Structures are given as structure tokens and as C-alpha cells.
Structure 1
Amino acid sequence: MPASAAARRALLADTAIDVLAEQGMRGLTHRAVDRAAGLPPGTTSAYHRTRQSLLTALVLRLVERDQAEIEEAGQRAGAPRDAEELVAGLTAFTALRLTGEGRRRSLARYGCALESVHHPELREILVPRDNAARRSVEDFLAARGLADARARTVTLLTCVDGLVFDRLVNGGAVPAEEIRRLVETALR
């Protein structure tokens, strides 16, 4: 059992991510989080009095975990040397988002994105962040002489995100060939 309030809040937010991924937005309740975390009834409510507070904590934690993972992956991989390395990196990224913990976080992220339509404060938290991976793609495109590398990076990564969403809904993986076509388009 986490001893500190910060550790307890992280546990509750992580558990809320899992509950949202498994049960959907309607299943995300204080009681469901208590049960899934193995905590006494009322624990989640003691830390997050309202559903909005719980949802905000979930989104903040989701972004924190995603950014840490993306930053680490971007630093580890470094800048791609050629288009095939970029394709391989993006293909590996989609695989992470479609399996295991990455899948649960993706399901929760898309649920929160839809919820943010009605709660703009969540949208502000979910705005894509600058990170090592994004900079790596932008630097790669800029090194190829593309003056609008930033805009192309946003478009490319949005398309990759769309493929992840499609596969979450319809099943399957994202083949490297699909990513290759997106990269080739970004390089034109």
C-alpha cells in the first residue's frame, strides 16, 4: 500500500486509467477505482471528491506517463538517419500503442479525447506536447530541406495516431508499408 499521498494519488490515477480502458467512460466511477485498486470504499472519493477531479487526475497521469515513454524512446533512438529508420521507429511506436499497457493507455486516451469535447479543461491537458520523438521527426524532415517540417510532422504524427485509433477499434497491427506510405508523402 503506498504510504504517501502522492503515491496514493498516482495509484488511483493509474487504476482509473485501467478502469476507463476496461469499462469505458460510464464504468469509470469512484467505487470502480476503489475495487480495482483493492482499496476500501470511499478512498478514491477522499482524494477526488468529484468525477471531474478524478478524470482530471487520470488525464494528467496519462499525459505524464505517455510523455515519459515518448521522451525516453526519442532519446534512445536518436534522430533517424534515413526514411527506413523513421518507418521502423513509427512502426514500433504503433505496436507499443496497440499492445499491453500501451493499449490500455491508448483506449483511455481516446476516451478522454472524446470527453474533452465537453470539458475544454481536459483538452488543454491533452494537447500534443513537444518531446524528443516529435523533435526527431521534425529534424529529420527539416534536414531533407522541407521548409514546412513542423507542419508536416504534425500531419504525419496525426495520421499515425489515426492508424492506431483505427486498429484499436477494428483490430490488427499497423504494417510498416502503411507507415512507409505516410513517410513518403511527408517527404514529397
Structure 2
Amino acid sequence: MPTDRRTLLADAAIGVLADAGMRGLTHRAVDRAANLPPGTTSAYYRTRQALLTALVRRLVALDQAEFQETGARTPALRNAGELTAGLMAFTEGRLAEAGRRRSLARYACAVESVRHPELREILVPRENLARQAVQDFLAAQGVKDAEERTVTLLTCVDGLVFDRLVNGGSVSEQEIHGLVTAALR
């Protein structure tokens, strides 16, 4: 549980957005979710836009921490099977309860960023150890445009996660393996 009040409120806002959608994201709803007195959220984040910006910054911080941790504990990928297994673990994490809620909030913010470019700037994919591990693996396999292929591969995996969040189900190892195989061509 975060001890910083701003972090606590941003985390509560992520949960509210995941559960109630963009229209349900209100200062009062965040107060309730954080189990704080009415008016607390608006004291820290005066406007809805300030609250949304804090929420997006927190999502990015959580994602970056997760990616850095994953990359730090993952040895160099040696083969397509290891990459497939790593991407499967990623998708399963994104579809499991806590990851699912963050994913729903992230996609809602991505759509909102179409109307609010300042959010888009925060949501821009960042370099991290996990992404670098994929790029290094593709380069080691002789893929000429490893950086571009990494972006394409991870975007496709993200698309599968989005599809399963919207339509239900899980991502299969065959789907991920097919994407990895295509990235290696």
C-alpha cells in the first residue's frame, strides 16, 4: 500500500477507471475507492484533467517498474521458445486480475489521449530492459531491422491482449509463437 497520498489517489483512480470507465472517473469516486474523506482527491488534483494526468503518469511508472524488473531478472534470450515463453508470461499477467485492471485503464487512457495530446506524450512507449532484451535477441538472430521488428512484435502482442480484454479468452502459445516466427523472418 503506497504511503504517499498522491500515489494512493492515483492507484485508486486506476481502479475506478478500470471498474467504471472514463465517465465513472470522478473525484468523489476516487475518494470512495481510496477510503478517504470527500474532497481529498480534489484537494490534491484540482481538475479532472489533473487527476487523469496523475493516473496516466502512475500507469507508466508501474509499467516501467514492471518492465525493468522483468528485464533485470531475465537472462539473455537464447531461442524463439524462450521469447515465446516470456511473451506468454507477459500476456497472462496483463489478463490476470491486477494486470487486467491496469490494462483496461491504460487502453481507456490511450483512447482519451486522442483528444488530449498531453496524455499521449506521457503514454509514448519507453525504452526498458524487457524491450531491449527482445531487440537484442532479434539482432542476434540476424534480423536486420531489429528495432522496427521489436516495435511491431510488441504492438501485435499488445493487440492480442486488447482483443482478449474486449472479447474474452486467453492468448495461446501458438499465437505468440506465430508472431515470434514472423518477427524472425
Of the structure 1 ranges 74-83 and 87-96, higher mean CA displacement relative to structure 2 is found in 74-83
Structure 2: distance between partners of 1:28 and 1:79:
41
Match of 1:132?
129
Matched positions, count:
185
Match of 2:21 among 5, 20, 24: 24
CA RMSD in angstroms, aligned pairs only: 1.1
- Structure 1's 27 and 181: CA in aligned 2 closer, same or farther, altered over 3 A? same
- Runs of 4+ residues over 2 Å off in structure 1: none
Q: Return closer, same or farther for 1:120/1:92 CA change in 2, 3 Å cut-off.
A: same
CA drift at 1:78: 2.3
Query: What amino acid is aligned across from residue 81 of structure 1 in structure 2?
Result: R
> How far 1:2 moved relative to its partner?
7.1
Aligned residue in 1 for 2:33: 36
Aligned residue in 2 for 1:88: 85
Cα distance in 1 for partners of 2:110, 2:36 equals 28
Between the aligned partners of 2:2 and 2:7, the Cα distance in structure 1 is: 9
1:52 matched to 2:49: yes
Partner residue of 2:171 out of 174, 178, 186:
174
Q: Please state whether the residue corresponding to 2:89 is helix, strand or coil.
A: helix
1:144 is aligned to: 141
Percent identity of paired positions between Structure 1 and Structure 2: 73
Q: 1:35/1:84 Cα in 2 relative to 1: closer, same or farther (>3 Å)?
A: same
Distance (whole Å) between structure 1 residues aligned to residue 62 and residue 168 of structure 2: 24
* Distance (Å, rounded) in 2 between the aligned partners of 1:104 and 1:2: 18
In 2, the alpha carbon distance for the partners of 1:57 and 1:78 equals 33
Give 1:79 deviation, angstroms. 2.0
Q: Does 1:103 align with 2:80?
A: no
Q: Per the alignment, do residues 141 and 2 of structure 1 end up closer, same or farther by CA in structure 2, a change over 3 Å counting? A: closer
In structure 1, what is the Cα distance between the partners aligned to 2:76 and 2:2?
38
> Match of 1:39, SS?
coil
Q: 1:67 corresponds to which letter in structure 2?
A: Q
Where does residue 68 of structure 2 map in the other structure?
71
Q: Measure, in 1, the Cα distance between the counterparts of 2:174 and 2:103.
A: 22
- Alpha carbons of structure 1 residues 116 and 2: separation in structure 2 relative to 1, 3 Å: closer
Q: d(CA) in 1 for partners of 2:85 and 2:2?
A: 39
Secondary structure of the corresponding residue to residue 49 of structure 2 = helix
User: 1:130 and 1:53 mapped to 2: Cα distance?
Assistant: 25
TM-score of the superposed pair, with normalisation by structure 2: 0.98
The letter of the residue matching 1:57 is A
TM-score normalised by the chain length of structure 1: 0.96
In structure 2, do the counterparts of structure 1 residues 84 and 36 end up closer, same or farther at CA, with 3 Å as the change threshold? same
